């Protein structure tokens, strides 16, 4: 799972769109990261909010953090998603925004998927 990037290049920027999914943590057993890579949630026509569906099958609680502009100090926690829920948890975010997840300690198994 990629770590947070302080100064991402255009090719490194990820975004999530309606109907798509993003594996923020594809396989926690392969890397040790406590702060995930950030991704953008773009604006929606006639909507100021978007519900992100998060499935956390890692062995640690994931804290969802949101920022209106990307910068490490700009992120604030908005939700905690319990480990190994295997069910979708809905997190409402203002759009457009940036999202990342933090773990303490780093997960060692499972995945975290956002859709």
Q: Coil, strand, or helix at residue 102? A: strand
Q: CA-CA distance, 12 to 58, in Å (whole number)?
A: 24
The answer to the question of residue 5 being in a domain is no
Beta strands in the chain (DSSP E): 14-16, 22-25, 39-41, 49-56, 62-67, 76-81, 89-94, 97-103, 112-114
Q: Which residues contact 59 (CB under 8 A, 6 or more apart)?
A: 28, 83, 84, 107, 108, 109, 110
Burial of 111 from C-beta contacts in 10 A (0-12 / 13-18 / 19+): middle
The answer to the question of residue 62 being in a domain is yes
- Domain limits for position 87: 10-114
Query: In this predicted structure, what is the pLDDT of residue 11?
Result: 63
CATH number of the domain at 80, please.
Answer: 2.60.120
The answer to the question of residue 99 being in a domain is yes
Count of domains in the chain?
1
Taking only the tens of pLDDT, the chain with its 115 residues reads 466 667 666 666 788 888 889 999 999 999 888 999 899 998 877 777 889 999 999 999 999 999 999 899 999 999 999 887 677 899 999 888 999 999 999 999 999 999 8
The answer to the question of residue 4 being in a domain is no
Query: In this predicted structure, what is the pLDDT of residue 77?
Result: 97
The answer to the question of residue 2 being in a domain is no
The answer to the question of residue 39 being in a domain is yes
């Amino acid at each position: 799972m990629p770590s947070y990037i302080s100064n991402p290049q255009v090719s490194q920027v990820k975004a999530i769109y309606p109907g798509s999914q993003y594996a923020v943590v594809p396989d926690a057993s392969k890397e040790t990261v406590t702060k995930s890579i950030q991704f953008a949630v773009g604006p929606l026509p006639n909507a100021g909010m978007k519900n992100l569906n998060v499935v956390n099958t890692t062995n640690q609680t994931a804290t969802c953090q949101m920022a209106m502009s990307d910068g490490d100090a700009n992120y604030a926690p908005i939700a905690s998603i319990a480990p190994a829920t295997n069910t979708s948890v809905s997190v409402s975010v203002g759009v457009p925004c940036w999202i990342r997840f933090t773990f303490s300690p780093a997960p060692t198994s499972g995945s975290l998927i956002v859709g």
